[in-house]
Amino acid sequence: MNFIQKFFTKTEPLPAGTHHMQATQDEKPYRLHLRLQKDGSGLLILNAATVLQLNPTAAEYAYHFIKGTSPDEAAKQIAARYQVNRKTALTDFNNFADQIQTLISTPDLDPASFLNFERVQPHSTESTLRLDCALTYRLPESTHAKYAPTKRVDRELTTEEWQTILDKAWQAGIPHIIFTGGEPTLREDLPQLIAHAEKNGQVCGLLTDGLKLAEKDYLELLLQTGLDHVMLILQPNEPKSWKAIEIIVPQDLFLTVHLTLNKENVKEAKDILQKIAYLDVQNISLSADDGSLLDEMLELQDTASSLRLTLRWDLPVPYSASNPVSIETVDDAIPTGAGKTWMYVEPDGDVLPAQGEPDKTLGNFLRDSWEVISKN
Q: How far is CA 321 from the centre of its chain?
A: 19
Residue 124 lies in a domain: no
Are 270 and 293 members of one domain? yes
Whole-number pLDDT of residue 149: 65
181 DSSP 8-state letter: S
Are 102 and 211 members of one domain? no
Chunk the chain into consecutive blocks of 10 residues (it has 376) and report each block's average pLDDT, rounded to whole numbers.
Answer: 43 82 84 88 82 86 94 92 88 92 76 63 65 91 64 87 96 91 94 95 92 94 93 94 95 91 93 97 89 89 94 78 43 46 91 78 92 87
Q: CB neighbours of 127 closer than 8 A, spacing ≥ 6? A: 35, 43, 173, 341
Number of domains the chain contains = 2
Are 174 and 284 members of one domain? yes
Are 205 and 330 members of one domain? yes
Closest CA relative to residue 135, chosen from 198, 177, 175: 177
CATH number at residue 246: 3.20.20.70
What Å distances lie between residue 193 and 23, 83, 148, 198, CA to CA? 22, 46, 21, 9
Question: Cβ(148)–Cβ(182) under 8 Å?
Answer: yes
Domain assignment of residue 62, given as a range: 2-119
Are 286 and 334 members of one domain? yes
Q: CB neighbours of 3 closer than 8 A, spacing ≥ 6? A: none
Whole-number pLDDT of residue 185: 96
Are 236 and 310 members of one domain? yes
What does pTM read for this prediction? 0.80
Are 213 and 337 members of one domain? yes
Residue 125 lies in a domain: no
Whole-number pLDDT of residue 330: 36
Are 23 and 154 members of one domain? no
Whole-number pLDDT of residue 292: 87
Domain boundary among 119, 152, 183: 119
Are 74 and 148 members of one domain? no
